[in-house]
Amino acid sequence: MVIRRIAFLSMHTSPLGNPGSGDAGGLNVYVRGLALAMLGEGIEVDVYTRRTNDADPDVIEVVEGCRVHHIAAGPAAPLSIADQIPWTRTFAERVIERLRNEPTVDLVHSHYWLSGWVGALAKRALGLPHVISFHTLGRVKEINRRHDDQPEPLVRIVTETEVISEADCIIASTSDEADDLLLHYGARPESLCITPPGVDRTRFSPGPPRVARGRIGVDGDAPLVLFIGRIQPLKGLDVALEAFALIANQSLDVRMLVVGGASGSSGESERRRARSYAEQHHLPVDFRGPVPHADTVDYYRAADVIMMPSRSESFGLVAVEAQSCGLPVVAADVGGLAHVIEDDVSGILVKGWAPEDHAAAVTRVLSDEDLASRLSQGAREWSEQFDWKVSVDRFLELYEGAVG
C-alpha cells in the first residue's frame, strides 16, 4: 500500500521547541529529521503536540506538507511530565476527534510513552496501525538511575507494558534497545524493528576549528573539551567534570565548554551542583546553557574531544552529530553509545563511570596527535551509516509493513 499521510504524536514536547533543556532534546531532533525525510519521499506529516501557550495557533504549516497541531489539554503552559499524565486522556480524545475529521492518515507513529498511550487509544478507536518509538524506557532508566535521582512513576512502567503488547511495530534504535524491550517488557519479537535515526550530514560536517572558535567566542588554540546535553543525573555531567578536574590538574592549558540546560525533576539541582563544583575547583569551564540546534555544529568543529559519560542512553544523537563533524567521542560503554561509537575507531568507550578512566581516555586523545587524527577520520567514516538519507528507506519499509 502506498503511504500518503502519517500522524506523529509528540504530546510532551513540540518539534518546534529548542532542544537542549527541559523536555526538548534528541526526540525533538529525531521527529523533525524523520518528518523532513518523509516529506522528501512525498509523504505528508501531521505532528500532534500539547498546547503550551495560548498564543500558539491551532495548526502551523511548518513547510508545505508538514503541519504541527497544538492540542489543548490542561493549562496552556509548560508542565512537567508528571503534571501532564492526568491530561493524557483529554489529549488522546481531542487527537482522535481531529484524526476522525481530517483527511485520512495511514498510520500513527508515537514518540515516548505518554504519546504511546495516546497512539494505543487511537488504534483502538480508529483502527489505525500504531508504530511507536519509546526513545527511553522507564525500566532501563530505573536500572541505571543514580541513587539520588527521582524514580520513574509506576504508571509509566505499566503503560509502557500495555502499549508494547498492543503496538503493531516498535522501533528500537539499536539491538540493545530491542533486547531491553524483550527482556524487561516481554515484547513480541515479531513486533520489533531495529532502525537507527540519522543526522543531516551536510550540516554536521567537519570545518575549520579556528573559524568555529571565532563564531562561538573561544580565543586561542588551547585544547577544548566539550559536553553537550540536557543536564540531569543520567547524562553524567558530574563524571565529566570530575574527570576534567583531573585533566586540568595535569595541564594548565585546557578548557571545557558545557552546552545544555537543566532537564527533568533533578535537572536544576544537578546544574547548580555542576556549577558549584567547577567554581570550588577553579576549573576553566564555561557553562553556555542551551544553544540552538543549528549552532551546535560550531561547537563540534571547535572542540578537540567530546565527553559523554551517560549512565543510560538509548541512542545518543550528540555522539552521531559529533562524529559526523569528525570529532572523537569519549563515552561510557552503555546502551546506544556502544553502537553509535566504534571503540578505538571513532572514539573511545570507557567501561564504568570512574572519573579517572574517563580522564585517562580524554588525555590520550588530547596528547597523541596521531590517535586524535585517526579517530577523527574514523568518526567521520563510521558515522556514515547514521544518515537520514540511509535511514529513510528503512523507516518506509517498516511503515509499509505496519500498514500491511
Q: Per CB under 6 A, which region of 2-10, 80-88, 103-111, 288-296 contacts ligand UDP?
A: 288-296
Of the pair 107, 308, the CB lying nearest ligand UDP is at: 308
Of the pair 209, 290, the CB lying nearest ligand UDP is at: 290
Shortest distance, CB of residue 371 to ligand UDP, whole angstroms?
24
Q: Is 290 in the site for ligand UDP (CB under 6 A)?
A: yes
Q: Is 7 in the site for ligand UDP (CB under 6 A)?
A: no
Looking up cell 538511575 gives: 145
Q: Which of residues 299-338 bind ligand UDP (CB under 6 A)?
A: 315-318, 321
- What gap in Å lies between CA 30 and CA 392, rounded to an integer? 12
Of the pair 92, 240, the CB lying nearest ligand UDP is at: 240
Shortest distance, CB of residue 337 to ligand UDP, whole angstroms?
9
Of the pair 4, 203, the CB lying nearest ligand UDP is at: 203
Of the pair 26, 347, the CB lying nearest ligand UDP is at: 26
In degrees rounded to 5, what are phi and psi of residue 194?
-110, 115
Give burial (CB, 10 Å; 0-12/13-18/19+) of 35: buried
From first CA to last CA, the distance across the chain in angstroms is: 7
Q: Per CB under 6 A, which region of 38-46, 83-91, 265-273, 286-294 contacts ligand UDP?
A: 286-294
Shortest distance, CB of residue 275 to ligand UDP, whole angstroms?
16
Which one of 17, 233, 260, 355 is in contact with ligand UDP (CB under 6 A)?
260
Shortest distance, CB of residue 338 to ligand UDP, whole angstroms?
14
Q: Is 196 in the site for ligand UDP (CB under 6 A)?
A: no
Which one of 15, 17, 22, 26 is in contact with ligand UDP (CB under 6 A)?
26
- What gap in Å lies between CA 170 and CA 191, rounded to an integer? 6
In a 13 Å sphere around the CA of 374, the CA atoms on its Cβ side amount to 11
DSSP one-letter string for 216-284: HT--SS--EEEEES-BSGGG-HHHHHHHHHHHHHH-SS-EEEEE--B-STTHHHHHHHHHHHHHHTT--
Of the pair 232, 376, the CB lying nearest ligand UDP is at: 232
Of the pair 174, 376, the CB lying nearest ligand UDP is at: 174
Of the pair 123, 201, the CB lying nearest ligand UDP is at: 201
Reduced to 3 states, what is the DSSP secondary structure of residue 353? coil
In a 13 Å sphere around the CA of 311, the CA atoms on its Cβ side amount to 18
Q: Which three cell numbers stand for residue 222?
A: 588551547
Dihedral angle, C-alpha 370, 375, 380, 384, nearest 10 °: 140
Amino acid at 294: A
Q: Is 291 in the site for ligand UDP (CB under 6 A)?
A: yes
Amino acid at 348: I
Which one of 37, 140, 228, 372 is in contact with ligand UDP (CB under 6 A)?
228
Shortest distance, CB of residue 68 to ligand UDP, whole angstroms?
18
Q: Cβ of 96: how many Cβ atoms within 10 Å?
A: 18
Q: Per CB under 6 A, which region of 65-73, 178-186, 225-233, 239-247 contacts ligand UDP?
A: 225-233
Which one of 281, 293, 364, 374 is in contact with ligand UDP (CB under 6 A)?
293
Q: Is 209 in the site for ligand UDP (CB under 6 A)?
A: no
Reduced to 3 states, what is the DSSP secondary structure of residue 172? strand
Shortest distance, CB of residue 5 to ligand UDP, whole angstroms?
26
Of the pair 316, 378, the CB lying nearest ligand UDP is at: 316
| Helix, strand, coil percent values for the chain (each to nearest 5) | 50, 20, 35
Signed CA dihedral, 11, 15, 17, 20: sign only: positive
Number of residues that bind ligand UDP (CB under 6 A): 20
Which one of 15, 25, 116, 233 is in contact with ligand UDP (CB under 6 A)?
25
Which one of 241, 259, 307, 375 is in contact with ligand UDP (CB under 6 A)?
259
Q: Which three cell numbers stand for residue 192?
A: 520489533
DSSP secondary structure letter of residue 21: B
Q: Cβ of 58: how many Cβ atoms within 10 Å?
A: 12
Shortest distance, CB of residue 327 to ligand UDP, whole angstroms?
12
Rg (CA), the chain: 21
Q: How far is CA 340 from CA 125, 165, 351, 357, 377, in A?
A: 38, 28, 15, 20, 15
Using CB under 6 A as the criterion, which residues of the chain lie in contact with ligand UDP when the complex forms? 19-20, 25-27, 29, 228-230, 259-260, 290-291, 293, 296, 315-318, 321
